[in-house]
Amino acid sequence: MSERAEQDTVAVKVENRIAWVSYNRPEKRNCMSPKLNRQMLRVLEELEFREDVGVLVLTGEGDAFSAGMDLKEYFRENEALGIGAIRKSQREAYSWWDRLRWYEKPTIGMINGWAFGGAYGPLHALDIVVASDDATFGLSEINWGILPGGGASKVAQELMPFRKAIYHAMMGENLTGKQAAEQGLVTESVPHDQLRDRVLEIAEVLLKKDPNALRATKWAMRRMSEMTFDNAMDYLIRAQEALNGMGGMAARKEATKQFLDDKTFKPGLGAFDA
Ligand code: ACO
């Protein structure tokens, strides 16, 4: 097929408050070109504050999640142009991964197939990640003579037990979705034909939670990884107090009333009626 226009490198569908965002270069196994990276940032920005979007799902069209960075358009063509072009294309990629990591709304990864190298950046940025049992994960960098840059080795080191991560990075052997779940790279894996239903189920639970509390919770979980225990305790007090100013106190009073007085819900078993 002829070259895809920049705006067609990402597909978006909003349905029942869920934004389904897909890498849309299946003919190139959804590898990340500069065009795709620029378009993905635009799409994320456009969806982030839309009233009709409560959860964002990232997946890939066809049989790949993403085959990592585009070896032609991201690496070879920019390297031919020099350091300015290299830095620009790195910033375009890293900026949408970073935006996704600190997204205002909950995000779910639906890993439907190949996930290599550069794809580990978005993988780590997503809050909850469900893989198909037979998806394929690989730090293939070692197979073509580079190290897993763009954060990929840091992602493996952060998410996986050290012995598994260093083996994964050095050996260039792939993991199935099932193995990736066992080793902490993704949240869980399910049979391929149940992937979408499971993601939908998670999204529907998230849509029932208080959005401000969800945002504060996901950001706290990320921020705390670099804090001492004392700093985390202090941060959490301040984050809850900030949340109170965003309607958190009223939500808490209402939930407490529904539990203690009305006896219409149990916080241990589900969300209150907002
Ligand atoms: N960069 C550029 N083009 C790619 C990439 C990539 N990362 N991955 C796939 N493509 C292209 C192929 O060149 C091919 O293009 P063509 O049709 O114009 O020849 C097309 O996508 C289809 O790829 P095939 O290799 O034919 O697909 P197949 O299903 O047989 O294999 C697989 C899929 C295993 C994912 C293979 O394409 C592959 O190994 N890709 C590279 C994976 C990788 O190592 N990525 C880089 C990680 S390192 C990093 O991101 C920094």
pLDDT of 20 higher than 80:
yes
Closest residue to atom 42 of ligand 1, CA basis:
67
Mean pLDDT, the chain, whole residue set:
96
pTM over 0.90: yes
pLDDT of 252 higher than 90:
no
- Distance separating alpha carbons of residues 270 and 180, to the nearest angstrom: 29
For the stretch 78-88, pLDDT in tens is 999 999 999 99
Strands, E assignment, the chain: 10-15, 18-23, 55-60, 64-66, 107-111, 114-116, 128-132, 136-138, 175-176, 188-190
- Rounded to an integer, the average pLDDT of 44-53 is 98
Closest residue to atom 10 of ligand 1, CA basis:
28
Query: How sure is the predictor about 274, in pLDDT bands with cuts at 50, 70 and 90?
Result: confident
Ligand 1 near 156 CB (within 6 A)? no
Closest residue to atom 41 of ligand 1, CA basis:
67
- What is the DSSP code (8-state) at residue 113? S
Closest residue to atom 26 of ligand 1, CA basis:
28
pLDDT of 121 higher than 80:
yes
The whole-number pLDDT of residue 1 equals 67
Ligand 1 centroid from CA 62, angstroms: 13
Which strands make up the sheet holding 136-138, listed edge to edge?
Answer: 64-66, 114-116, 136-138, 175-176
Q: For ligand 1, what atom is nearest to the CA of residue 64? A: 35
Ligand 1 near 29 CB (within 6 A)? yes
